[in-house]
Amino acid sequence: MRFSRKTAGGKTRFLVSELDPAYHKAARDLGFVAANEAFVRVFEADTPHLNQIFARFVSFAEEMILQAAGARPVPWDKALLSFLQRTSGKNVDWWLTGSGALAARGIDLVPRDLDIITDNNGAQQLGRAMSDWLVEPVQESHDWIARWFCRAFAHARIEWVGGVEDWVDDRGPCDFGPTARTSLQTVRWSGYNIRVPPLEMQLAVCEQRGLKDRAQKIQHALGK
């Protein structure tokens, strides 16, 4: 793999080239777009600290892609513990969802990453708290499920969205939207309290997405 950066027209592109076809799907899963024999992520060129973020991207992009492809183990527990230690006492309003929330409950699965949900202000706060872990900047999104997105890497991917749109609940079961937020539960993990969605809600999401193995594990945890 080769990593480079190009800036033109007020945009800076992080490029991954010479990527083995076996990892193309992983790159797409990470949001990279194929363009001119490379895979690209695009950011505003005037983004603060972009040089520092690109340097970290170069250091960890290969590991990130290999983990996403299932070619390397994902030490999600080390990532979660690092996140909890870094954010402890920061007074950030956040919660954990997706497979990370299930793993934190003790359900037998290995997340590919950690999915953090926060509000608009929390997205910026997390960006500052983990500034030296960022492989992508906190960036504003338009016509998407949330207003903000950011990606960090500390043992594994840690991603968060801020300001989730109300309409996400209109599509059916959703474990990261406003309805989930009003019914969060607290689990104890490695000495920390973590807010997570109800298992019943995550079961409905897995069934909707056709994740049969994961749904069966949730049903077992529920005693069904």
Domains with residue ranges and CATH for the chain: 2-68 (no CATH), 76-222 (3.30.460.40)
Q: Is 57 exposed, middle or buried (0-12, 13-18, 19+ CB in 10 A)?
A: buried
pLDDT cut 70: percent of the chain above it: 100
Enumerate the H helices of the chain as residue ranges.
Answer: 24-29, 50-68, 76-87, 98-104, 120-129, 178-181, 199-209, 212-222
Asked whether residue 111 carries a pLDDT value surpassing 80, the answer given is: yes
Q: If you average pLDDT over residues 126-143, what whole number do you get?
A: 96
Amino acid 50: pLDDT: 97
CB 167 within 8 A of CB 123: no
Residue 136's pLDDT is 98
Cβ distance 123 to 161 under 8 Å?
Answer: yes
Residue type for position 152 = A
Residue with tokens 């005693």: 223
If DSSP codes are grouped into helix, strand and coil, which group holds residue 162? strand
**224: pLDDT strictly greater than 80:** no
Only one residue has tokens 């069934």, namely 207
pLDDT grade for 172, boundaries at 50, 70 and 90: confident
Residue-wise pLDDT tens digits, 194-221 = 999 999 999 999 999 999 999 999 999 9
Mean of the pLDDT values across residues 63-87?
98
Residue with tokens 């997706």: 98
Q: Alpha-carbon Rg of the chain, whole angstroms?
A: 18
Query: Model pTM greater than 0.85?
Result: yes
pLDDT confidence of residue 162: 98
| Residue 34 confidence class, pLDDT cut points 50, 70, 90 | very high
Residue 156 has pLDDT above 90, yes or no: yes
Terminal Cα-to-Cα distance of the chain (whole angstroms): 46
Quote the percentage of the chain above a pLDDT of 90. Answer: 96
